[in-house]
């Protein structure tokens, strides 16, 4: 299983959009890869339909979308017809076919506690955010029984893309427009040049100078 900062495996796969080589498919974009236990399953159907509804938000952020399920491409296409029932007939991203679970095993997506009808472990609900450098920027792993929160995934992408280019980190429950925190390597004498609109400091009992907030990052 790749760790944060690792280059994602450049696997080859059959998909609903044709055969791909993962790195070539990503190109110079950000990407999200999210896996599903199986086609024609209830929680997965709610997730893929929500991902479609939020597709404009991913596109606005330059994030390419791709899902993975263990069934064959033709099964995926039949499932998409059901998903469209919840998306006003729209579906505009790709689903990877992984019938032998080779990609799921390679990426550490297997949920050992949940089995399919054949008694095989199913794929968990993994979320991988990948940068243009093909490195994993974030991973989340939900059990098969728990659906994801795509609002949170969008929030995380906003944080990742912000902190990739600005000298800030995002605090608990941060949302775009809220205060971010100045990262520790930035010295106080650099604040005026890096954050000309100002930095707010909070004093703490230790007397240490590290709680520094700013909205000057947009």
Annotation says 111 is catalytic:
no
| Annotated catalytic residue, options 44, 71, 98, 111 | 44
Domain region containing 183: 166-218
Q: How far is CA 99 from CA 15, 58, 213, in A?
A: 11, 27, 48
Annotation says 113 is catalytic:
no
178 and 96, same structural domain?
no
Apex 32 CA angle, 30 and 38, nearest 5: 160
DSSP letters spanning 24-55 = HHHTTSEEEEEEES-TT-HHHHHHHHHHHHTH
Structure tokens of 135? Answer: 């490195």
Which pLDDT tens digit goes with each residue over 122-180?
Answer: 677 899 999 999 999 999 988 888 999 999 999 999 999 999 999 999 999 999 999 99
Tell me the percentage of the chain whose pLDDT exceeds 70.
Answer: 95
pLDDT band at 4 (very low <50, low <70, confident <90, very high): very high
What pLDDT was estimated at residue 123?
A: 77
- The answer as to whether 2 is a domain residue is no
**Chain centre distance of CA 152:** 9
What pLDDT was estimated at residue 143?
A: 85
In angstroms, the first-to-last Cα distance of the chain is: 35
211 and 138, same structural domain?
no
Apex 129 CA angle, 88 and 136, nearest 5: 160
101 and 16, same structural domain?
yes
103 and 183, same structural domain?
no
- The answer as to whether 65 is a domain residue is yes
**Chain centre distance of CA 169:** 18
**CATH number, residue 191:** 3.30.1020.10
144 and 69, same structural domain?
yes
| Annotated catalytic residue, options 6, 19, 113, 133 | 133
């Amino acid at each position: 299983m790749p760790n944060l900062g690792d280059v994602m495996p450049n696997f080859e796969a059959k998909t609903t959009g044709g055969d791909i080589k993962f790195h070539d498919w990503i190109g110079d974009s950000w990407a999200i890869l999210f896996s599903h236990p199986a086609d024609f399953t209830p929680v997965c159907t709610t997730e893929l339909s929500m991902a479609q509804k939020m597709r404009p938000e991913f596109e606005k952020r330059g994030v390419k979308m791709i899902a993975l399920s263990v069934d064959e491409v033709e099964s995926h296409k039949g499932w998409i017809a059901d998903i469209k029932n919840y998306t006003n007939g729209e579906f505009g991203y790709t689903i990877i076919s992984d019938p032998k679970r080779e990609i799921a095993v390679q990426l550490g997506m297997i949920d050992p506690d949940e089995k399919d009808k054949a008694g095989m472990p199913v794929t968990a609900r993994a979320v991988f955010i990948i940068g243009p450098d093909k490195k994993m920027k974030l991973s989340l792993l939900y059990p098969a029984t728990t659906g994801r929160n795509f609002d949170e995934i969008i929030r995380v992408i906003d944080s990742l893309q912000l902190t990739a280019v600005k000298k800030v980190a995002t605090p608990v429950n941060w949302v775009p427009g809220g205060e971010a925190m100045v990262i520790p390597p930035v010295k106080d004498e650099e604040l005026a040049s890096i954050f000309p609109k100002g930095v707010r400091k909070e004093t703490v009992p230790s007397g240490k100078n590290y709680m520094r907030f700013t909205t000057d990052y947009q």
